[in-house]
A and B are shown apart, each in its own frame.
Chain A
Amino acid sequence: MTRVRFDTTDVDVGERESVLDALLRAGADVPYSCRSGVCQSCCLRAVEGTPPSAAQVGLPPTLVALGHFLACVAHPQDDLVCARPGALAGAVDATIRERESIAADVVRVRISPNIPFVVKPGQYVNLARTDGLVRSYSVANLADEDGYVELHVRVLEHGAMSRWIANDAVPGTPVSLRGPAGSCVYVPGSPHEPLLLAGSGTGLAPLLGIARDALRHAHRGPIHVMHGGRTEAALYGADALAQLARAHANVAVTRCVLEGPGSDDIVQGRLDHVIAARHADLSGWRVYLCGHPDLVRTLQQDAFLAGASLDAIHADAFLTRADAPVPTG
């Protein structure tokens, strides 16, 4: 049994518990979102004791050297005394530059980093408010060419960050960006490889980024973008997709809705069924999957069973607090 101390909390970490689980159980105020080692919200710094290296995967070396670790995936061997991370450790200051509502519940924000910030389209950044609230968002544009980072944020009814972005993050608001992270990126070097880009809701953001990156690399193989939503109103981004398809003969777009009638350019049906009907054989394909965690999990398995190699399936599940597993300890 190991013991963890943080602020005024002092607690034993149960056998199957993470440091985050134990601290929350004891009533400590530790930020978190994904509970899966992805969003880095729960980053703490060990000031005494050695944090497990498995809980440092994805953190920049400078932070690792300073003892930072992700509490939600930390099962320590050592007793730890923890502190909050340096407020914005590893972060780049940035400014909200533009904000526009692009669908009933989707806001597009463009953010200018104050110093150069290298991020590949399709990766995600951890966006932090000045008070320390952090959430992950995927990058939809070619940030290096555009000079800003574009994110598509779905506004949730009680969402702390998404509501703040929709209501309060006026142009000029300071924020910061951490990361980037994630491996949902275009892999140059196989220009004829067929690409399947599929996702739901704002999962379209990274898919657009990846498609744009592929086309910038003169990708010549087929690029099939498949976007699913509950209703037609949820299928934002129609113009951006149509524009890509018009400009590039190798780009095909399929949009599908769960509810409501189909139409000339909208298929009625579940995204996984629509994909299965069109892509029974995915051997040789590279597959990118983003969006709702349950859907991403299903599509990942389907793509693998349809013949795509594990190495050729890139997926980012948009985990939110609601989807995160509840601790059992």
Chain B
Amino acid sequence: MTSLFERLGGQAAITTAVDVFYRKMLKDPRVARFFATTDMNRQRAKQAAFLTMVTGGPNAYTGKDMRAGHAHLVAQGLDDSHVDVVIEHLGATLAELGAKPEDIAQVAALANSVRDDVLNRASPSTAGR
């Protein structure tokens, strides 16, 4: 089966999606502060990595990377509500680019699957072991 990443148009579509998605994030007072000190010159690559990952494209990140990459944000108060905002803007971005509702649901599920890594907590499957 082709991934949503391919059906959306691969790397070229991601480039457009980066602009739309990242602008929504920066304009949203609920999450903008987490991006206040990030270096814009490197954002293109990072946002593209994020979108590629959640649309099922080639993924170079491990759960450990996700933990390390967001640890400083968790220290600043990153919690479930912020992941929800990400998923909201992600859905709106993909809808603008013409993705189907079932694809958007699939992306939300993928993003949700790394929620525990991003928020640096034990995942339910490993909790209590």
Contact = CB atoms under 8 A, between A and B. Distances in A.
B64 interface: no
B26 A310 contact: no
Most buried by A among B19, B22, B40: B40
B40 A310 contact: yes
Given A309-B19, A310-B18, A310-B22, A315 B40 contact: yes
Nearest to B45: A310
A297 B44 CA distance: 15
A114 interface: no
Taking residues whose C-beta sits less than 8 angstroms from the other chain, chain A's interface range is: 10 to 19
Q: Which 3 A-B pairs have the closest CB atoms?
A: A300-B40, A310-B44, A309-B19
Given A310-B18, A310-B19, A304 B40 contact: yes
Contact of B26 (A297, A304, A311, A313): A304
Interface in A286-315: 297, 300-301, 304-305, 309-311, 313, 315
B23 interface: yes
B112 interface: no
B41 interface: yes
Taking residues whose C-beta sits less than 8 angstroms from the other chain, chain B's interface range is: 10 to 19
A305 B27 contact: yes
Contacts of A301: 26, 40
23 contacts: A300-B40, A301-B26, A301-B40, A304-B19, A304-B23, A304-B26, A305-B23, A305-B26, A305-B27, A309-B19, A310-B18, A310-B19, A310-B22, A310-B40, A310-B43, A310-B44, A310-B47, A311-B15, A311-B19, A311-B44, A313-B40, A315-B40, A315-B41
A80 B43 CA distance: 30
Interface in B1-54: 15, 18-19, 22-23, 26-27, 40-41, 43-44, 47
Contacts of B23: 304-305
Contacts of A315: 40-41
A313 B43 CA distance: 12
Contacts of A304: 19, 22-23, 26, 40
Contacts of B15: 311
B41 to A, nearest CB: 7
A317 to B, nearest CB: 9
A115 to B, nearest CB: 31
A300 B18 CA distance: 16
Contacts of A297: 40
A180 to B, nearest CB: 17
Contacts of B43: 310
Most buried by A among B19, B26, B41: B41
Contacts of B44: 310-311
Nearest to B35: A301
Nearest to A303: B40
A300 B43 CA distance: 11
Contacts of A310: 18-19, 22, 40, 43-44, 47
Given A305-B27, A315-B40, 17 more contacts: A300-B40, A301-B40, A304-B19, A304-B22, A304-B23, A304-B26, A304-B40, A305-B23, A305-B26, A309-B19, A310-B18, A310-B22, A310-B40, A310-B43, A310-B47, A313-B40, A315-B41
A315 B26 CA distance: 19
Most buried by B among A301, A304, A305, A310: A310
